[in-house]
Structures are given as C-alpha cells and as structure tokens.
Structure 1
Amino acid sequence: MTNPTEIIPGVIFYSYFSAQRKEKVGFFEHSTLVLQVSGQFTLETTSQKVSMKGGQMLLIRKNQLGEITKTPLEGQDYQTIIICLKDDLLRQVALEQQIDTRRKYTGSSNVLIPENDFLHGFFQSIIPYVRHSDEKITRDMGMLKVREAVQLLLYTLPELKDFLFDFSEPYKMDLEKFMLGNFHFNVPVEKFAQLTGRSLAGFKRDFQKVFNMSPRHWLQEKRLTEARHLIENKQRKPSSIYLELGFESLSHFSHSFKKKFGKAPTEVISTL
C-alpha cells in the first residue's frame, strides 16, 4: 500500500509504504534531504551505496541518477520525509548571508548527516505536520522549515557549504564511461546530456562519434542485450528485470525483445 502526501508542492513530501518497494528514481534534479522516520532507506548510484534507518538523515546531491529501495523493518512501517532544496532558495540564502558560491564541490555526492540535539529537534518538529496533512501548513511556514534545515546542515557540517551552494554546471565528463554505467535509468536523453555537461546537440554529436549510432537506438540495443544476458546467464525472470533496465512496461519490453532476438523472453527461458 502506498500513501504519499505532498505537504508543500515541490518542497516537502511525506511517503509511507507497508511493503518493500524498489524504485528506479532516475534523475535527482535538486539537492534533497531525506529524514528517515522508520524502516530502511537505501540509495544506490554508480559510485555509492548508502543505507539508513529510523532517526537518520541523508543529504543527496543534485544532478544524480540513483535507485532507491524502501524496506519496512520488523514491527514497523516504512516512513520517510523528503525536503527538496531547490537552487532558487539556496541562492537566496547565499545572497542574504553573503556566502561565496565560486568554489566547486568535489566531495561525496551523498552524505549521512550526524545527529545532534538541534537536528533531532528539527526532525521532531516536521513529523506533526506530515502526520496531520489535512491541517494544511502554509507555504510560508514550510519555507521557513526548509531554511531552518539549511542552517542546521551548515551548523552540523560547515563543509557542506560547497555542497549546497555550488551552482556550477556539470563538467563535461567521459561520455562512454558514463553511459555504460547509467544506461539502465529510464530518463530522457535531455537529462543524459545535462548530466554529462553537454547541450542536447553536443551530446548527440559526441554520442554518434563514440558509439556510431543515435542515443535512443544505442539505449534500446544495450538494454535488450543486457536483458538477454540476465535471462540466459543469471536465470532472471522478465518480470523482475524490465523496470530495472529502463523499460516502462513488461509488454513493451517483451515486444522489443522479440523484435530484436526473434523470440519472446519467456521463450528464451523455456529453452534453458
């Protein structure tokens, strides 16, 4: 069962799950603070795997692709609070406090935040709002909570200043390495371009040079080839892999697989 609540549209979210759920989150456009109320939250990117349980906080950096696994623990449901730290608010804070934003952040992309009395109090102050979402919190009060979160993060880990206030564009990275590590994420080509530090036109041009085909064609071929490998060599079921390989539906995956290999995924399984 799923019961997500959007306390302030685009800013503060509350989610609840009573069974394990794995999500191909895809693209984190904004830096995000996750407050874990109960259960276990696991984020996996190409470079990191981070888990936390009730009472812990995780700061996720913007411009990332990642997969989240949400797991209720014995005797408790899964509950989490998500605070979106958008650049427009962070720019306001930087201007008000005259924070230098010229330094580029080079540290970890996902940071577990150590608990202290101030953060614990903040954590507790958010919970009543999300548990009584029918009593609508005003946007102004919600934005004050987001500002409070930023101040407490800086107090707890001053080095997060560069994390939060780095407004530079992603640098132009190795396209082949990035795509081979992230092809399974179901995000638009425009997002892949952004994450590799390119315009859409530049991305398509460089992609053609590296892979000798268009991004959409390569993504389809790569995902289907990986699917066949998982089915034939790992004995994975089609129903368990189509989402993690970036396909939106099992029927679309099966149709594409048969078109490329001449057999439906289930027919490949039956011959093993």
Structure 2
Amino acid sequence: MMEVQVEDQLKTLNYSGVFLSCFSDYSEKCIHSTPEHVLLYLYSGEQVIEDRNKIIKLQAGDCAFIRRDHRLKMYKNSKGEDLYKGISMTFKRNVLRDFYSKMNKSEIPNKVKVSDKTVFKLERNPAIESLFQSLTPYFDRNIQPTEGFVHLKLLEGIYALLNSNEQLYPILFDFAEPWKIDLLGFLNNNYMEELSMEQIASFTGRSLATFKRDFKKISNLTPQKWLIRKRLEMAYIQLKEDGKKVKDVYLEVGFKNPSHFSTAFKKQYGFPPTAI
C-alpha cells in the first residue's frame, strides 16, 4: 500500500516501508524515533544527525544505518540549488525473522563484537549505491512500485547491510525467540522502574542465566550499565530539549537521589546536569 503526504514545502512518499522525502525549503528539523531499524540514503542536499553529544553529517551519496528504539534529532537541509532528497528503508521484525530463518547459519560470522553505536555511517559501495539509485524514479508520485518490488528491495537492503559491516549481524537479528518477550522492547519501556535482574528475566520469559546470555547478544554492556546509560540519555533529552529541571528529572528516569544522578551524568557527558 502506498501512502502519499504532501505539505507545502514537504513531500513524503511511503511505499510499505520505503520512504522517500523531498524538501524544497532550506531546512527541516525533525525528531527521529522508531521501534524499527532504518537504512537512510541521501540522494541530494545534506543531513545532520544529532545523537545527544555526537554529530553525524551525511552528504549526497552517503548512507547510514540507524538502530531501532533510539531518539535522534535530524536536520534535513538543501545545499545550494540542490534540494534535500532522502530515501529510507524500515526493516520490520517479521521481515528480518523471515530472512534469518532462510539464512545458511554456517555463514554467520562468529564472535562478532556487539556494538553500542546508535548510528553507523556506512562506507560507500556499489551494492548500496545501486540499491538506492533504483528507487529514485519513485520520487515521481505517478510511478508506483509493486508490493513485490518493494519487498525485494528490502531484502536487497539487508544483504547490503550485512556485506558492509559484520557488526550489524547481531543488531539486525537481535529479536527474541517467539516465546520470549523482546529484551530491548521491554527494557525501553521499563528502564525507569526499580527491577532486579531476576525480575527482568522473569518478566521476559527467561531464567536469569538465559537472560544474561541473551543480553550479551545485544550489548557489550552489563544490564545494569545499560539501564544507567538509558536513564542518562533520557535525562539529557528532558533537560536539554524539554527544558525540565534537574530536581524533576532524576526521579522520573529512575534515579533515587540527585547526588548519584549528578555523578553518573558527569561521568557520561563530561559536565554536570546543571550545566545544560
């Protein structure tokens, strides 16, 4: 199914998980927050991605993979006479599960270090270039791709990702087994709660040993450190973007006292929360 949305200076086309955006003004700012992985290609213009204290810049021809369940600030800019044109692919879990079920598991690289990066700027390569160039005709709303064509392009996108960076294997296929609750989904929804590791394991349908083993597949942090980092990231957003006060934020994100919060915040960001 195709959805078309046109708003004065913004044109966005959605073809079942493939999004094409075109801006005719100088700049657009948006908040990116999605429960699914996204592959983004910049056809023209410039895109700036702000991930807390990190800045990633994309120029025409650049491509980036954005991990699911993260909140980013994006600036989509025209550059000179070149309008902003971007294409993105959203990889839903059912597509990734189906892809994984048909893979030759012996070809999956062993002992890949799990990365905690949110945004991966990919090296330019012919596979990614040809994939996205084949989608550019669909910026014309009078030309619509078939469902089958879009599905094939999503599969092509998965292959291109796996061939570009082996660190993406454990990230793309981090879903839980069907009878288990998805770990990241549960933790992102409950990071502010005071739960023991035993409780989290139980709530997600695992023994404590299985929970620890599964968690290692999705992060190189311990569960406790992952939770602290998540709380600090959400505190950063509330302090900087929402203008909240420290005394209102630390309890809301799950810290029990302001001193612990301030110390942990300064350790992660290099400055105290009161400096924002």
TM beyond 0.5: yes
The equivalent residue for 1:87 is 93
Residues 106-157 of structure 1: CA deviation (Å, up to 9, x unaligned): 24221111112222211211111x2233232121210110000110111122
**Aligned residue runs from structure 1 range 96-107, under 5 A:** 96-99=102-105, 105-107=114-116
- Structure 2 residue aligned with 1:150, among 146, 158, 162? 158
Does the CA-based 8 Å contact 2:113-2:167 persist in structure 1? no
After TM superposition, what 4+ stretches of structure 1 lie above 6 angstroms from structure 2?
Answer: 100-104
- Secondary structure in structure 1 of the residue aligned to 2:169: helix
Partner Cα separation in structure 1 for residue 139 and residue 50 of structure 2: 28
Partner Cα separation in structure 1 for residue 256 and residue 168 of structure 2: 38
210 and 63 in structure 1: CA distance in 2 versus 1, 3 angstrom threshold: farther
- How far residue 159 of structure 1 moved from its aligned partner, in angstroms, is 2.8
Residues 27-66 of structure 1: CA deviation (Å, up to 9, x unaligned): 2211100110101111111253211011111100111011
The equivalent residue for 2:123 is 114
2:168 pairs with 1:160: yes
- Aligned residue-pair number: 193
Gaps of 5+ in 2: 1-8, 177-182, 185-222, 243-250, 259-272
150 and 47 in structure 1: CA distance in 2 versus 1, 3 angstrom threshold: farther
2:189 pairs with 1:181: no
Partner Cα separation in structure 2 for residue 81 and residue 48 of structure 1: 22
- Secondary structure in structure 2 of the residue aligned to 1:4: strand
Does the CA-based 8 Å contact 1:59-1:113 persist in structure 2? yes
**Aligned residue runs from structure 1 range 18-57, under 5 A:** 18-19=24-25, 20-25=27-32, 27-57=33-63
Q: What is the CA RMSD across the aligned residues, in angstroms?
A: 2.9
**Aligned residue runs from structure 1 range 66-85, under 5 A:** 66-85=72-91
Is the deviation greater in 175-184 or in 142-151?
175-184
Does the CA-based 8 Å contact 2:48-2:74 persist in structure 1? yes
Does the CA-based 8 Å contact 1:46-1:181 persist in structure 2? yes
Partner Cα separation in structure 2 for residue 63 and residue 104 of structure 1: 20
Q: Normalised by the size of structure 2, how large is the TM-score?
A: 0.62
- Secondary structure in structure 1 of the residue aligned to 2:114: coil
Gaps of 5+ in 1: 187-202, 212-225, 231-272
